[in-house]
Amino acid sequence: MSASAMLSPMLADLAPPPPRLSATDSLFLDFDGTLVDLADNPEGVHVSTELADRLDALAAHMPGRLAIVSGRSIAQLDALFGPQAEHFTLAGSHGAERRSPEDGHDQPEKPAHLATATDEMRAVAEANDLYFETKSFGAGLHYRRNPDAEPLALREATAIAERHGLTLQPGKMMVEVRLPGDKGQAIETLMQAPAMRGTVPIFFGDDVTDEDGFEAAARLGGAGVLVGPMRDTAARYRLPDVAAVHSWLAQALENAE
Ligand SMILES: O=P(O)(O)OC[C@H]1O[C@H](O[C@H]2O[C@H](CO)[C@@H](O)[C@H](O)[C@H]2O)[C@H](O)[C@@H](O)[C@@H]1O
């Protein structure tokens, strides 16, 4: 029996998205697990020249209507994409900050307690052999190389988030504490920009944090595209993996030419 036949009727599989973008579509792309495969730690990922050039070409075809919406900070996305990052609209830190070529960088104040919480997260990582990730508006504990530490990481991060009034954000083999915001709000805000206003958002993402984005896309008349295995989701379409996203982007670009 195929994997899709074993799914319950509530979880009937989703079709792949049609590989084309119209002049009234806006494209929103998650980063880790969608544009790049997951690696052992946050520094293990690499943006190929082919991917960056393809996104650049698509962005040129849809001026102001392509955005990367990531849990990473914009500083991290800049380091990964290099100068080409300046060409894209970015929503980073799970929507807490946004930047576009037209509107510049919109970012929140950093409250003093964020630095204290970051120090506390670092101390937990050092004491428990976890990978520590410092971000512009948060800090993460990664347990991918030490999965047994998941309960400890969740417990410690929950206590730190509660102590400092921060948002607790579980992710894939990681947990972070951060300033508020979510990808749905980020998409709704970006959709107010003149280039996107009145268009239809299509959002590709893999993680549970991307469900807010799928819901926002649907609310605004568009659709979510789940990347990865089928699950209970607000997405309308599905692609199996990052390689399929790359093929879809290549076809969408070809169909736009
Ligand atoms: O919203 P995203 O762009 O998908 O970012 C979500 C988190 O991605 C990163 O962590 C994940 O990818 C790492 C590298 O592949 C992997 O080692 C880790 O286990 C994953 O959870 C990033 O490090 C986080 O800051 C992002 O919040």
**pLDDT above 50: residue 2:** no
Q: Average pLDDT of 179-186? A: 96
CATH of domain 112-178: 3.30.70.1020
Alpha helices in 191-237 (DSSP H): 211-219
Do the domains at 23-108+181-256 and 112-178 have one common CATH topology?
no
Give yes or no for residue 7 having a pLDDT over 90.
Answer: no
Quick check: 8 pLDDT over 70? no
Q: How far away, in angstroms, is 256 Cα from ligand 1 center?
A: 30
In this prediction, residue 11 has a pLDDT band, given cuts at 50, 70 and 90, of confident
Q: Which residues are catalytic?
A: 30
Average of pLDDT values for 112-118? 97
Q: What is the ipTM of this complex?
A: 0.98
The pLDDT score that the predictor gives to residue 3 is: 46
Span 40-92, pLDDT tens digits: 999 999 999 999 999 999 999 999 999 999 999 999 999 999 999 999 999 99
Ligand 1 shell residues, CB under 6 Å: 30-33, 38-42, 44-45, 70-72, 133, 135, 140, 142, 144, 171-174, 207
Overall CATH class of domain 23-108+181-256: alpha beta
Q: List the structure tokens of 117.
A: 């919480």
Among 174, 206, 211, the mutation site with the greatest number of ligand 1 atoms within 8 A of its Cβ is 174
The structural domains of the chain, with segments of one domain joined by +, span 23-108+181-256, 112-178
Look at residue 256 in the predicted model and tell me its pLDDT. Answer: 87
Q: State in Å: Cα 83 to ligand 1 middle.
A: 21
**DSSP code string of 161-193:** HHHHTPEEEEETTEEEEE-S--HHHHHHHHTTS
Q: What pLDDT score does 38 carry?
A: 97
